[in-house]
Amino acid sequence: MINIRSPREIEQLRLSSKILIETFHLIDKLIKPGIDTLILDREINRFIRSKGAKPAFNGYRGFPASVCISIDDEVVHGIPSKRKLAPGQIVGIDIGVEFQGYFSDAAKTYIIGEVSAKTQRLIEVTEQALHLGIRQAIAGNRLSDISHAIQEHVEAAGFSVVRDLVGHGIGRELHEEPQIPNYGKSNHGPRLKEGMVLAIEPMVNMGDYTVRTQNDKWTVRTSDGLPSAHFEHTVVVKNNAAEILTLGR
């Protein structure tokens, strides 16, 4: 079942999302060459808790940190450690916030120093694909219209969408129905209705779409070792245009 959220619930989700936006503003100031990802994790945890909220990933299904930090060929679910960020890397940061029982979720890929033109293009295309998917999150469309818009844009640019991982519904739980693949034919799946809340998150590889999970049972990497980018927003389905709750992150 896909939940329809009331105006009061959506307001609660806005409050959760506001904390998440502020957390990304903190990251914008902290992220730089030489910082290790464990420090980022610690500062993010501290900031979220200072707002009376909780880092939603901390302990979720056993995840051992407050934030997922994925570098270069790591697609998602990278575990913070004493690794120091270095120029030429791209870093995906994925954060969830729980505030008063309501969840928000967003991700952004950062560039450390300078990267190749192709890597820069990968990041641009991934973020563009996210917003093209969001444009389809309007009442009356089908769920797969989001998926198709993402895949079409990514593949036209010469990249590939990860097929083993999906976006999801969100609200009173971090992961709710429906699952939202980033590929597929249009005009399939459930009809979207006003008040549905979705976490749309294209994960885009420079090379092949296949991935593998490391021995830590969390970190997902590209099979060919080429870079991957990840962007995500929490959005509310509306009649004319989706409301992006995490806009500004």
pLDDT tens-digit map of 170-192 = 999 999 999 999 999 999 999 99
Residue 93 domain-assigned (yes or no): yes
Would you say the pTM of this structure is higher than 0.75?
Answer: yes
Residue 17 domain-assigned (yes or no): yes
Question: pLDDT > 70: what percent of the chain?
Answer: 100
pLDDT reading at 233 higher than 80? yes
For the record, the structure tokens of 217 come out as: 């049972």
Residue type, 70: S
The CB density around residue 135, as the number of other CB atoms within 10 Å, is 14
For residues 94 and 230, the answer to whether their CB atoms sit within 8 Å is: yes
| Predicted pLDDT of residue 69 | 98
HSE value, Cβ hemisphere, 13 Å, CA-based, for 69: 26
For residues 97 and 16, the answer to whether their CB atoms sit within 8 Å is: yes
Model confidence band, residue 249 (pLDDT cutoffs 50, 70, 90): confident
Total domains present in the chain = 1
Domain span at 126? 7-244
Model confidence band, residue 216 (pLDDT cutoffs 50, 70, 90): very high
d(CA 33, CA 20) in angstroms, rounded, equals 23
For residues 98 and 127, the answer to whether their CB atoms sit within 8 Å is: no
Residue 249 domain-assigned (yes or no): no
Residue 85 domain-assigned (yes or no): yes
d(CA 78, CA 221) in angstroms, rounded, equals 9
Model confidence band, residue 248 (pLDDT cutoffs 50, 70, 90): confident
Residue 1 domain-assigned (yes or no): no
Helix (H, G, I), strand (E, B) or coil at 95: strand
CATH number of residue 25's parent domain: 3.90.230.10
